[in-house]
Chain A
Amino acid sequence: MEATLQKIVEKYGKDSARLMDILYDVQTEFNCVSDEAVEKIAALLNISGVDVEQTRSFYHFFTKKPAGKYAVYLNNSAVAEMMGAGEIAKAFETAAGVKFGQVTADGKIGLHYTADIGMNDQEPAALINGQVFTSLTPAKVNEIIAGIKEGKCVKDMITTYGDGVNANPLVKSMVKNNIMNNGPVLFTDYQVGAALKKVVEMGPKAVVQEVKTSGIRGRGGAGFPTGMKWDFCSQAAGAKKYVVCNADEGEPGTFKDRVLLTEKAKMMFEGMAIGGFAVGADEGVLYLRGEYRYLQAYLENCLKEMRDAKLLGNVLDKFKFDIRIQFGAGAYVCGEETGLIESIEGKRGEPRNKPPFPVQVGLYNKPTIVNNVETFCAVSKIIEKGGEWYKGMGTAESSGTKVISISGDCAKPGVYEVVWGMTLTEMLALCGADAAKTQAIQVAGPSGVCVPPSQFGRKIALEDLPTGGSMIVVGNQRNLLKDLSLNFMDFMLDESCGSCVPCRALNHIMKEKLEKILNGNGIKKDIADLEEWSNSLSKTTRCGLGQTSGNPISTTIKNFRNKYEELVKDVDYHSDFDLAASVQTSCNYVGRKPNIHH
């Protein structure tokens, strides 16, 4: 073990800021990051054991105990469950002979659940040793487990490949792109390097101005004006600056960045280089969620080809800019830009206090622009075709196009590049969903809004329904509060980083209250409590996760109040406490009969 750890640590230059990579390699090598390994890594990096421990314990894909030589991570997010993940879980358990959360006695197969893996349009899906298995059926599960038992290599078990780059020899993945609507900006012809050749002639100031002219606002969800962000960063003091691309894509129901990364990787890298030129940064980091590691070899090769073509490195002999890829390891909060920065630095992905904002104090405390994959892709096109051209599309406050990931109860789940301003009714028609059979659309994921049919006339636009790209169609056959809201609350409380008490505690309490209501034990006041607590959460937490974590409940109360009212009792107080049931286990264990007096 000693020698292997030494080699891994040396591979990353004994740099503790590369702890994420070190832990990943150790996890891959030993199937876990044991306490012993933690201590040894700490000694080799000359940092304290708790510094290593706190990073290890933060991320879902780093495990203290062996996760199984074949570690299966089945997605149990809302849409996965809607598409039958429950049945798939049973099939895995039967075939493997262990329950989820367990590893077989021989250490070969481990079954684990995981949050949304960005495959909502081809669920049920699972990751096995980093490879994606989509559209699972019980028969396929049996085949997979049989293969594992024979000791097959996971990669060899993938025999049919998805479309486009998914079939590239460097990817060979069964993932499908499902591009259902090509738009004028992103899913269209694109000449690698054309924009970069233009910017070196324009100069940094003009580039920032062009981005401002386009009116583009961030595509990661918050919608901050990109030109303004770049302007702030370019003016920030200091010679060293960074460009970070946020490809964490953890919001359940969003998978458009995965498709952009697959089909338009160079367009995005070029956008990052343009950003570097504009703000005066010479280093870029692509923060890619661990779930998309199957794209690593392909993306590294794109970077290499761009270096060879002088589109990275010594860019066109005019400026220096290069990019490295940093992988996450299963933590939604790392999509929050400051949590992401902490993670790149090898730490727990706990969001920082803002201000200062990353444009002032970012990666390694240097001025940094953090932008979404789609934002960088769009910038390449904006430079190529001009800000005015871009501004000509969309609505007053949302210029250009948006890539929407649509999943759930519709005939054509997939990605759609549309001009901002389409109504939900139009989107439903586009994705082949019957509006009459649709009880709700979840826009912008769990942290967004659950929209009722009476509001399907609303527009996808920052001034009406803002979104980072997730749209989940919920058919009439679903139990909205159970299948969606409750699942989302589970997600929120799992993913809270735990820094702020309200986010850590209130989400639990709210989830339990929702369960109480679903079990028929709720009272009217519970609804009022839930509304009030969501409001507290939005005001008393540090980052966007906590601020919106009550939304799965508060937006359904707002738009589907009758669903709650049908379930609650109209009394002052009601308790579901059952003394006999609650003493049963302990009485059995100590060997006595319960004696209940009243």
Chain B
Amino acid sequence: MSKPVVATASLAGCFGCHMSILDIDDRILQLVELVEFNKSPIDDIKTFTKMCDVGIIEGGCCNSENVENLLAFRKNCKILISLGECAIMGGLPALRNGIPVEECINEAYCDGPTVSLNKERILPNDDELPMILDKVYPLHEIVKIDYYLPGCPPRADLIWNALVALLTGSKMDLPYEVVKFD
């Protein structure tokens, strides 16, 4: 039997969740035994080359590119997992959701304390650039998500246990410590 194929992506996230995937330490070797990676920052494959079994996504959607990426994942993965707070709830980037998008753009490109060279108040409007969404969306508001792994980032053990359970069809081991946050 061929190995299950896994794809991953970071959308409006900080890559912390991906770091947590790597944080499974030497079990990464077992993981490589267990699965084949397709599109993912882990192997740097940029586009889907085949149908995948599991898609793991960190980060919500803050721009049109995120949305396109997410739709591609839904199309090419049998199972989609929201990994981490940003994917599940929007997370830190969603702090902008109470603020009009115009104000956010001004803050980023004109008025922020670290902006010093944009006296003419030029705003990025090239057609090539992703378009900014009115707010940051959690993934499940845009496509169907099958599983959610909470945490910021989710603990390595949680990710590992979930993947093993999913790939072997066994019951997931969910000790209290891996899902308790305070």
Contact = CB atoms under 8 A, between A and B. Distances in A.
Contacts of A577: 67, 137, 141-142
Contact of A595 (B127, B132, B142): B127
Interface of B: 64, 67-68, 71, 100-102, 105, 123-127, 131-135, 137, 141-144
Given A577-B137, A583-B64, A589 B127 contact: no
Contacts of B131: 583, 586-587, 592, 594-595
Interface in A548-598: 572-573, 575, 577, 579, 581-587, 589-598
Contacts of A589: 101-102, 105, 123
Contact of B133 (A572, A575, A583, A597): A583
Contact of B101 (A572, A573, A586): A586
Given A572-B144, A589-B101, A589-B102, A583 B132 contact: yes
Given A589-B123, A593-B127, 16 more contacts: A572-B144, A573-B143, A577-B137, A579-B67, A582-B133, A582-B134, A585-B100, A586-B101, A586-B102, A586-B105, A586-B131, A590-B105, A594-B131, A595-B127, A595-B131, A596-B64
B142 A583 contact: no
Contact of A585 (B68, B102, B124, B143): B102
A211 B10 CA distance: 66
Tell me the dominant secondary structure on chain A's binding face. Answer: loop
Contacts of A583: 64, 131-134
A172 to B, nearest CB: 42
Given A583-B133, A583-B134, A586-B105, A592 B127 contact: yes
B144 to A, nearest CB: 4
Contacts of B142: 575, 577
A315 to B, nearest CB: 50
B144 A573 contact: yes
Contact of B125 (A581, A584, A591, A596): A591
Interface residues of A, number: 22
A577 B142 CA distance: 6
B141 A585 contact: no
Nearest to B127: A595
Interface of A: 572-573, 575, 577, 579, 581-587, 589-598
26 contacts: A572-B144, A575-B141, A575-B142, A577-B141, A579-B64, A579-B67, A582-B134, A582-B135, A582-B137, A583-B64, A583-B131, A583-B133, A585-B101, A586-B132, A586-B133, A586-B134, A589-B102, A589-B105, A590-B124, A591-B125, A592-B126, A595-B127, A595-B131, A596-B64, A597-B68, A598-B71
B99 to A, nearest CB: 12
Nearest to A573: B144
A590 B143 contact: no
A586 B135 CA distance: 10
Contacts of A594: 131
B123 A575 contact: no
Contacts of B102: 585-586, 589
Contacts of A598: 68, 71
Contacts of A572: 144
A597 B102 CA distance: 24
A573 B146 CA distance: 11
A587 B141 CA distance: 22
Nearest to A505: B89
A293 B144 CA distance: 52
Contacts of B126: 592
A575 B143 contact: yes
Contacts of B125: 590-592
Contacts of B64: 579, 583, 596
A11 to B, nearest CB: 38
